[in-house]
Amino acid sequence: MTVSSENELVVITGASTGIGAATAREMAQRGFHVLAGVRRDRDADAIRAANVEPLILDITNSDQIRALASRVSEDPQRRPLRALVNNAAVQANVPIEVFGIEQWRDMFEVNLFGHVAVIQALLPTLIESGGRVVNISSVGGKIAMATYGPYAGTKFALEAMSDSLRREVAPHGVQVVVIEPGAVRTEMLGRAIANAHELLAAMTPEQRHRYGGLVHAVNAQAEASTKSGLPAEAAAAVIAKAITARKPRTRYTVGREAALLPVTRLLPDRLLDRIFAAALRPHLPKENARLDSAPTRR
């Protein structure tokens, strides 16, 4: 069974492209009025459509978050807030040693603290409407492969925050759902690869010697898996289910890789290290083909 979509609001952050944009279109087609958070005017123009109202929203900007909360609470049609979908994210696959501490802080600002700020701003309205919070995590919220440390760190934290929030607000009628996508074809991968190349160019010669082959292999592997991954619309359909199911699950996975997550929890860490290293081996430059001799971080 699903909840009614008549005269209800859905807020989606990070709706410029990819999963966020696809979810905005999906929910609009189902009759919800979507407040789609984007960062640029041209993105707003691109996504504006029937039942899709773009809002300029940088989730690290407190003034824009307050403006979003006011738009929701002062809705001219007094529509209840059905769901907040926290989708905004940034990614860079880079070794921990070479990712500057300020870059770590910036990634946590977007991938965790910004979501917390939006939740805090909209939670009173969600409690009033009996709505729900849908947090978009990742396979990286359960498994931290080599060079995924910063990104996975934010997603592990998002998963933990979601669990705690779910237990806090359930007595008040608010449901919290986590979505864990695997390989999905979105623009974020291209940005992550570009970021990795910039960081690689900024490494010292010693760091490039240590990590150059690894970064190349990880990016090649990610690009190959994403080409065969699901379209963003497939993820949007799962998110729509999480929003509309009368009794949603606490977690939904998207794609084959994510569906295998329970299996990985049964394996010893050292075995996972070897599995991940072996999976990277075909993508290594020839001069780095001995990567499997080094353990993969977890």
The number of distinct structural domains making up the chain is 1
Residue 224 covered by a domain = no
Q: Report how far apart, in Å, the C-alpha atoms of 159 and of each of 143, 154, 165 are.
A: 12, 9, 10
Residue 197 covered by a domain = no
CATH, residue 260: 3.40.50.720
Choice among 148, 151, 211, 252 that is catalytic: 151
Residue 211 covered by a domain = no
Q: What is the pLDDT along the chain (298 residues), one digit of tens a residue?
A: 555 555 899 999 999 999 999 999 999 999 999 999 999 999 999 999 999 999 999 999 999 999 999 999 999 999 999 999 999 999 989 999 999 999 999 999 999 999 999 999 999 999 999 999 999 999 999 999 999 999 999 999 999 999 999 999 999 999 999 999 988 887 776 777 777 778 888 889 999 999 999 999 998 888 887 777 799 999 999 999 999 999 999 999 998 777 777 778 889 999 999 999 999 999 998 765 554 444 333 2
Residue 161 covered by a domain = yes
Residue 260 covered by a domain = yes
What CA–CA distance (Å, rounded) separates 154 from 144?
A: 11
- Residue 35 contacts by C-beta under 8 Å, 6 or more apart in sequence? 9, 10, 11, 12, 53, 55, 68, 71, 72
Residue 208 covered by a domain = no
List the Cα angle 185/189/193 in 5-degree steps: 150
211 a catalytic residue: no
Residue 140 covered by a domain = yes
Neighbour-count burial of 145, counting CB atoms closer than 10 A to its CB (0-12 exposed, 13-18 middle, 19+ buried): buried
- Residue 293 contacts by C-beta under 8 Å, 6 or more apart in sequence? none
Residue 103 covered by a domain = yes
Domain range holding 103?
A: 9-186+230-265
pTM reported for the whole predicted model: 0.90
